[in-house]
Amino acid sequence: MVLDLEFRRFLEKELQKSIDFTFKQNMDFKKMWNCTNEDDFLYGWYMGRTDDFCRNQFFLRHHKAPDEKETKEIHDILLDYAKDFRDQLSKK
């Protein structure tokens, strides 16, 4: 594990809060953004938002951009939460 445990736990906690918050909002993204497939749009929006969040948090904590190994570990964490996010989309 390249990322320190404290930072990893922080990301996991914040990503879960983000999933919970997004689905509690009940926003009509299809109407708001004039998109055809709301689930695909929401998935892409969420993944872009969370990737940006993770990289910004890494920079704020370490005062540098993540290297290749750190980036891979961040993406692995994101992919785990992407599955959770897709599961929530299928339940709505």
- Angle of CA points 59, 55, 92, to nearest 5°: 145
Residue range 20-76, pLDDT digits in tens: 887 777 667 667 777 788 888 888 888 999 999 999 999 999 999 999 999 999 999
Residue type for position 69: K
Rg (CA), the chain: 14
Q: Helices marked H in the chain — which ranges? A: 5-25, 29-33, 38-62, 68-91
Residue range 38-47, pLDDT digits in tens: 888 888 888 9
Distance CA 79, CA 65 (A): 20
Residue pair 88/39 in contact by the 8 Å Cβ criterion? no
